[in-house]
Amino acid sequence: MKKHNFSAGPSILPRVAIENAAKAILDFDGIGLSLLEISHRSADFEAVNNEAEALFRELLQVPDNYKILFLGGGASTQFFQVPYNLLEKKAGYVNTGVWANKAIKEARLFGETDVVASSEDKNFNYIPKNYTIPTDLDYLHITTNNTIYGTEYKTDIDSPVTLVADMSSDILSRPVDVSKYGLIYGGAQKNIGPAGVTFVIVREDILGKVSRKLPSMVDYRNHIANQSMFNTPPVFAIYVVRETLRWLKSIGGVPAIQKLNEEKAALLYEEIDRNPLFEGTAVKEDRSLMNICFVMTEKYADLAPQFLEFAKSKGMVGIKGHRLVGGFRASTYNALPKESVQALVDCMREFEKMHVK
């Protein structure tokens, strides 16, 4: 049976990227060696690394005064690496849920950390707005998409201080005005590639201003000076990033994927709003296009386990909601085809016919 992969991450990747990765593992570009066995300093791999960076720059329209890095350690490493590099006196954070909270916790180790806005009062079901950003902050940190609560910033905010964003789960899903940010980071394992590589887009002039001494691996400037090869990079993961970005370019880039993502999300949210069995958990204006969270309506709450089983029997994978929200979560990242969303909608309709008299 065909599987429809709604996993929150690691998550679905373009089939062509997967097939090319399998080929490269057996024999990389016909050189008689596996991609897993070549030196990261070889011309063969340098070409991969350079192309991945160039494609990322082209697709997201990253200005020339920003550097793009591919690092190890995951976004969780960025939670402390950002304040290590940038927090001298005071940082501001917008608290939009679990991941923002983790970032806040690490920042507190390095200096004063103000939560300038929060949606904790309503279990993080919205994106805070209409708050004042203090102008004495070293930076303001936001999490543009919140995988657990299904909320997402729809536009790039204006900030009077350096803006830092965790875009792990919505990078390259929509256009971003990179010039509004000082630093953007994220784990690759949603829209860009497999688990094991982290991207950082940074405007160089914000670096080198803290007084503390930085471990070499923590200092972004070392990675910039060595084009992400300060140490042995995650070679295979970067290869899959290149393949994923090649695919994104081939289908029309960010404008095309944005349109597709909007269509997919509309299809599912319309069904959630129409079907008497289900309701969304996030406020409508802040609904994520990447992680669509919904629950059973009160009247049918008991049917939740049955629906999960039913959906599983129809090939749906990874739609169980996070325990902090409950219900269901369909992650509709770039590589998820519209057919999979339609399959889930069909599933919801069929379940409705079985249970709503």
Beta strands 4-5 and 316-317 are: parallel
Virtual CA dihedral for 341, 343, 345, 347, nearest 10 degrees? -150
Q: Which stretch binds a copy of itself (CB under 8 A): 4-12, 52-60, 118-126, 156-164?
A: 4-12
Tokens of 107: 């920042």
Q: Which residues pair with 326 in a beta bridge?
A: none
- Contact track, a copy of itself, 183-202, x by CB under 8 A: ----x-x----xxxx-----
**Taking CB under 8 A as the criterion, which residues in 219-238 touch a copy of itself?**
230-237
274 binds a copy of itself (CB under 8 A): no
Q: Flag whether 64 is marked binding.
A: no
**Taking CB under 8 A as the criterion, which residues in 292-331 touch a copy of itself?**
317-318
Query: Number of residues in contact with a copy of itself, rule: CB under 8 A?
Result: 63
Q: Which residues pair with 287 in a beta bridge?
A: 151
Q: Flag whether 166 is marked binding.
A: yes
Beta strands 316-317 and 291-296 are: unpaired
Q: Are 173 and 190 in contact (CB under 8 A)?
A: no
CA atoms of 327 and 147, how far apart (whole Å): 14
CA atoms of 58 and 56, how far apart (whole Å): 5
Hey, is 62 helix, strand or coil?
Answer: coil
Tokens of 41: 């300093």
Q: Flag whether 342 is marked binding.
A: no
Hey, is 339 helix, strand or coil?
Answer: helix
38 binds a copy of itself (CB under 8 A): yes
Q: How many CA atoms lie within 13 A of 261 on its CB side?
A: 28
213 binds a copy of itself (CB under 8 A): yes
Question: What is the smallest separation between the CB atom of 307 and a copy of itself, expressed in angstroms?
Answer: 20
97 binds a copy of itself (CB under 8 A): no
Task: Could you list the residues known to form a binding site, using ranges.
Answer: 41, 75-76, 99, 147, 166, 189, 231-232
Active-site residue list? 99, 166, 190
Q: List residues near a copy of itself by CB under 8 A.
A: 1-3, 5, 7-13, 18-19, 21-23, 25-26, 31-34, 36-40, 72-77, 79-80, 84, 102, 105-106, 109, 187, 189, 194-197, 213-218, 230-237, 240, 317-318
Task: Could you list the residues known to form a binding site for pyridoxal 5'-phosphate, using ranges.
Answer: 75-76, 99, 147, 166, 189, 231-232
